[in-house]
C-alpha cells in the first residue's frame, strides 16, 4: 500500500467512525470504531463505507467473514485498477514533456518507454504529449502494430478495447474514445460506463484534430479521414471521409 492509498483509508475510516458513533443505537466511541474499521479493512478488505452499510460493529467474526466475501474480490480488483491508473498518470507526467523532442536519443527513450507500457510494435514514432489512458475502473486494452505514427497531442482512451494495425498514421490533436456513459442510468443517479471496441485497420490515416467517437467500431484499410472530422460510425475499407459528422467523400481510386 502506498502513502496515497493509506491516507485515503485513514480519512474514510475517520469520517465513517464519526458518523457511526453519532447514531442513536451505537454506544461505541469514535476511537473504538476507527480502530475496528481499520481492522476490518486489513483483515477482510472491507471499505469504511461498506463497514457502515453492513453494520460490521454488530457482527461476530464468523458473520463478518461471510459478509466480507461479497466485497473482497471487487475491492481488490478496484485497487489493482487504481494502482495501474496512478502508475500510468506518473508515466505520462514523465514522458509526455516536450524535452524528449530535443534529440534523436531522447525521442528513442520516449518511444521505447511507450512501447514497454502499451504493447506497441516496431518502428513506430510517438510525439510528445501523447496521452493514452483509461477511466471509470474499466479494464480495456490497447495494441498498436508496427510502423505506426502517433503525432503530438494525440489522445487515446482505451477504457474499451482498441487495436491499431500496422502502418496507421494518427495526426496531431486526434481524439479517440472507446467508452460512453449510460445516460439513462445517470438520470437515475447511477454512474454506469460502457466500454466499446475499435479496430483501426492497416494504413489508415486520421487527419489533424479529428475525433473518433465510441460509436465507431471499425475504420477500414487505407481509410483517409479529413482534418477536423467527427467520426460517429464505421468506415469501410478504401474510403475517404470528412466533415461533421464525417461522411463519405469518395472511394480511393475514384476521380
Give the active site residues: 179
Reading across the β-sheet that carries 125-126, which strands appear in turn?
A: 125-126, 149-150, 169-170, 205-206, 224-225, 239-242, 247-251
Q: Which residue has the cell 479496430?
A: 199
Left, alpha or beta for 21 (phi > 0: left; psi -120 to 50: alpha)? alpha
Q: CA 230 to CA 240: how far, in whole Å?
A: 13
Q: Which residue has the cell 489493482?
A: 80
> For residue 140, which of 176, 182, 175 has the smallest C-alpha distance?
176
Q: CA 132 to CA 142: how far, in whole Å?
A: 9
Amino acid at each position: 500500500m502506498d502513502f496515497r492509498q493509506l491516507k485515503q483509508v485513514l480519512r474514510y475510516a475517520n469520517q465513517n467512525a464519526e458518523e457511526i458513533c453519532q447514531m442513536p443505537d451505537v454506544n461505541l466511541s469514535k476511537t473504538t470504531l476507527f480502530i475496528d474499521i481499520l481492522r476490518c479493512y486489513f483483515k477482510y478488505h472491507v471499505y469504511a463505507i461498506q463497514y457502515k452499510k453492513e453494520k460490521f460493529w454488530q457482527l461476530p467474526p464468523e458473520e463478518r467473514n461471510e459478509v466480507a466475501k461479497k466485497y473482497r474480490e471487487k475491492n481488490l480488483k478496484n485497487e489493482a485498477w487504481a494502482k495501474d491508473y496512478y502508475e500510468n498518470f506518473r508515466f505520462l507526467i514523465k514522458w509526455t514533456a516536450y524535452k524528449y523532442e530535443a534529440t534523436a536519443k531522447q525521442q528513442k527513450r520516449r518511444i521505447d518507454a511507450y512501447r514497454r507500457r502499451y504493447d506497441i510494435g516496431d518502428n513506430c514514432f510517438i510525439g510528445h504529449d501523447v496521452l493514452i489512458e483509461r477511466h471509470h475502473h474499466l479494464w480495456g486494452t490497447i495494441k498498436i502494430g508496427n510502423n505506426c505514427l502517433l503525432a503530438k497531442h494525440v489522445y487515446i482512451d482505451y477504457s474499451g478495447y482498441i487495436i491499431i494495425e500496422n502502418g496507421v498514421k494518427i495526426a496531431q490533436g486526434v481524439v479517440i474514445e472507446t467508452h460512453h456513459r449510460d445516460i439513462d442510468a445517470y438520470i437515475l443517479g447511477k454512474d454506469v460506463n460502457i466500454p466499446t471496441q475499435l479496430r483501426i485497420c492497416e494504413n489508415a490515416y486520421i487527419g489533424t484534430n479529428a475525433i473518433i467517437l465510441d460509436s465507431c467500431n471499425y475504420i477500414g484499410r487505407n481509410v483517409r479521414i479529413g482534418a477536423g472530422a467527427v467520426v460517429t460510425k464505421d468506415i469501410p475499407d478504401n474510403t475517404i471521409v470528412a466533415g461533421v459528422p464525417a461522411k463519405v467523400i469518395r472511394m480511393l481510386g475514384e476521380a
